[in-house]
Amino acid sequence: MSAIKLIHMYASPWAERVRWALNYKGVPYEKEDYQPGVDEEKVKKLTGQAQVPVLIVDGTPIPDSTAILNWLEQYKPQPSLMPSSDKDRAQVMMWEELMDGVLGPQARMLIIGHFLRSGEPQLQQGGRYFAQKYQHTAYDEEHAKVTVERIFTILKSVLQGRQYLVGEAFTRADITVASTLLLVNPPPDDLFLFPASMRPMYTVPLTSDSQFAPIFAWRDAMYRKHRGEAVKP
């Protein structure tokens, strides 16, 4: 059995999708917390890029949550998190790209704005670090709100009458979408223990619009049925 360590940030959906998949497949691992602004250089030296999660398998680092999930699918194929048909696999990839490349970064833009305007010096300092790293501007924040609403509209429509996003089984698409939604409205504490001071930072007002309630009901159902444990630091 390999020695596996995950360098992660607790409240990051990219880390959460990896933790969820490892847990689902019953792969034991050790966790190491990444401190933004403190550990960046260390991660850069280790991987040549400056983001987490990073999985270290027998001393070899694997950066990028999708690369980690691909590695995991090979390392422990069962229970499978990828469908068998090419068409369904392509759909899983589409959801992963939409979450990791669009909803995640756009929601992060909104969170950075919340941090910067929080009035809390420590959060503002974090906000400045992320604002510089992820090029936050007032324009980009406004634009992010539009993109987030468009993705909610897609999700609401796709989930109508469906239990899972792709085919009839639980896949990486469900894990990735359910994880990414924590950036706009974290799950309740019994599913994912979230620091109370952070909840307002990670809450987008649009999520209280009742037309989008089914998205979050679906997300909570995925956590209840498939997460396997209450998430805690």
Strands of the sheet with 60-63, listed across from one edge: 30-33, 4-8, 54-57, 60-63
CB under 6 A: which stretch of 49-57, 153-161, 196-204, 220-228 binds ligand GSH? 49-57
Q: Is 40 in the site for ligand GSH (CB under 6 A)?
A: yes
Instruction: Annotate each residue in 3-32 with x if it binds ligand GSH (CB under 6 A) or - if it does not, as one string.
Output: ------x--x-x------------------
Indicate the residue among 40 and 149 with the shorter CB distance to ligand GSH. Answer: 40
19-27, 62-70, 163-171, 204-212 -> range binding ligand GSH (CB under 6 A): 62-70
> How far apart are CB 40 and ligand GSH at their closest, in Å?
5
The answer to whether residue 51 forms part of the interface with ligand GSH (CB under 6 A) is yes
202 near ligand GSH, judged by CB under 6 A:
no
With CB under 6 A as the contact rule, the residue among 7, 24, 62, 65 that binds ligand GSH is 65
Kindly state whether residue 100 participates in binding ligand GSH, applying the rule CB under 6 A: yes
The least distance separating ligand GSH from the CB of residue 118, rounded to whole angstroms, comes to 17
Q: Which is nearer to ligand GSH, 9 or 123 (CB)?
A: 9
